Chains A and B, each alone.
Chain A
Amino acid sequence: MGSRKTLMKQNYPLSFLIPAGVMLAIFFIVPTVMNFIYAFTDWSAFKNTINFNGVDNFVTLFKDGTLMRDIRITLIYAVCIAIFQNVFGLLLAVLLEEDTRLNRFARVMFFIPVIMSALAVGYIWQAVLKTDGALDQMLSLILGHHVTTGLLGNTTWTIVVVSAIQGWKWMGLAMLIFLAGLKTIDSDVIEAARIDGANGSQLFWKIKFPLLAPAFTFNVATSLLGSLNGFDMVQAMTKGGPGGSTEILNIFVWRTFGQGLYSQSTTMSMILFILVAIIALPVIYLLRRRERNVF
């Protein structure tokens, strides 16, 4: 036993962990710890000293309504994206499942938004959707009278529109992951189900969909995390407006930081950290357990 341990040490020296460990410690763990400290201070651009002020930041943010509003918006945004991205991705995967020339071409085309910057995608869709933008122009032309949809100026629905665009950007990746999942399904299983008389929709919902569990986990987890940490797309499309109705947490962090209110910015950053920890971790755990139950 003792010699096995020394062999382990000899063959797999812990020193190999040092470079990654140092980088992670300095540039990830230390800032995270600092985040939990500075959230309780009055750090700002307007003072030379930094003093502890307890939960003042939380009280201020809670009282003016920003805290709960931004948490709510961030959650709505994340859930909408998880739905859009996966529904779009799954529909595309089912539609493009067969290896025909057209389908292969379509798969490549749907992957282009994935490699573009979210900022660029945001500007393009802003131009399509803004008042008197390309969509309004097209509808006016088709209907023969002036139409304004106002999709980016609605305090209730704009957040859903923005998340749909985020879903549009990433649906190509979700599609690929689902396609890979469909490819790994054993054709014998499909054959057996068909002999048993399963029709198309039964085949999909009873056999293929459950077997897509790992792809589903990956897609839900990445879309949830990506959207909780979102910024570029919303900043490009609405900058948090109209009336703060699309202000996800990172938009607040950036806006408040720009105003010199560093500690409030840090407080929201910490809230985001906690939000991700209490939402993403259990969701990923549950989806993983679901995978194990399927196989």
Chain B
Amino acid sequence: MRKLLLVGLFLLGCYLMSVAHAQVTIRVAHFYDPAAGPAHQMNLKWLEKVKEGFEKANPGIKVEFEWIKWDELDLKSLRDFRAGISHDVIYSSPQYYGLHSVAKDLLDLSPYIEKWSKETLEDFTWSPVWTSAFPWGIPLGIHTRTIVYRRDLYEKVGLDPNKTPENLEELVEYSKKLTQDTDGDGKTDIYGLGMYFGPSRATIELYFAPYLWHFDGELWDKETKKATFASEAGIKAAQFLFDLIYTHKVTPEWSMSGTYDDVILLSFLGEKLAQAEGYGSYWIGPLEEKGWIKGLFPPTPEGQALIADVYPTPTKYKAQFTNAWNISIHALSEHPDESFKFIEYMIQPELLYEYPDAGLPVRLSLWDRPEFKTPFYQKWQIAARNGRPMPPTAHYGDLADTVAACLQEIFAAKAPIPETLKKFEDEYNSKFAGE
């Protein structure tokens, strides 16, 4: 009997010891698929390096990856929250923070951030992506856009490639000069200014909102929770874009079809556009691949823009969309402290410097490195500072789709601008105003 008791006590002791030493496993949900292209592989390698370093530094915490498609991350977080399925660390997008703040499926990170030093905080708060992320997430990089242009074509039409447009009038004037019928068949072969108005979120974010903001308008009113894009500013913005296609004929009619990357990236690389607006920082690599820039991807202090170069869109200050992939903690996480520990490890300057996703560093101190001091990257920094997020409405997706559909009707059917904007705004407000 006594032997049995001793064996029992021994087993209980072993069990308690094993529980005490049990590892905590945190799951990190990302969207990088190693089979889906070199960019995915680069980012996954980076994440694996972060995981390895973190596990070494924190022997009691194990990291497991989860994969969710990039445009489903936020919706999956919401859906799983409702279904009672927990995640720990999860990538998130600021465009959905209106929805997350209503659903409360992401953890408010304020209690953790409060413990940060002033220096660390200031290293992040310089850019608008911080305001769009906090308190639901922490930005990992900066996605911003510029106008990409062909230096050789500038020279060909008698423009100085070092002097780019500084206002909208100059932008139109330059674009007209750059629009060319190279073979003399009466059809335009190279358009002066590429834009995209297809059925996608890019339409509102990169092409309509910046001009609406430039003309001092707003997409959505925070107080009344109503869409306001049919204002005078909205009419001016839509008219400006309409004129680019039909009056000045510097933007192709096919800007309304296809995908954002087809119309902007591929058309620019395919030499159909002399300038393209809304060119993302995530597309610096293809310029290097094409040989149009040298030593700029990855950035080096000797980097040079040869054939292609960029300049910040000449709209007013803070009238450009800038966003980021953020890192958040799921509200059902059973290990929020360990999760935040992982996030803090991930955003160390040395690691973030190597993060390939956005192309542009989110920490101000990293911009002091010589490779980011080149004129090319300095222009990206101006664009990064000159940004703002999308409105924090829980129905942002519907707002974006409404505006894209509205612009398609205006451009494709040449529908009257004020009436069409009003019609779509009323339609949106009848469903979502006040919510």
A and B: interacting chains: no
User: Interface on A for B, CB 8 Å cutoff?
Assistant: none
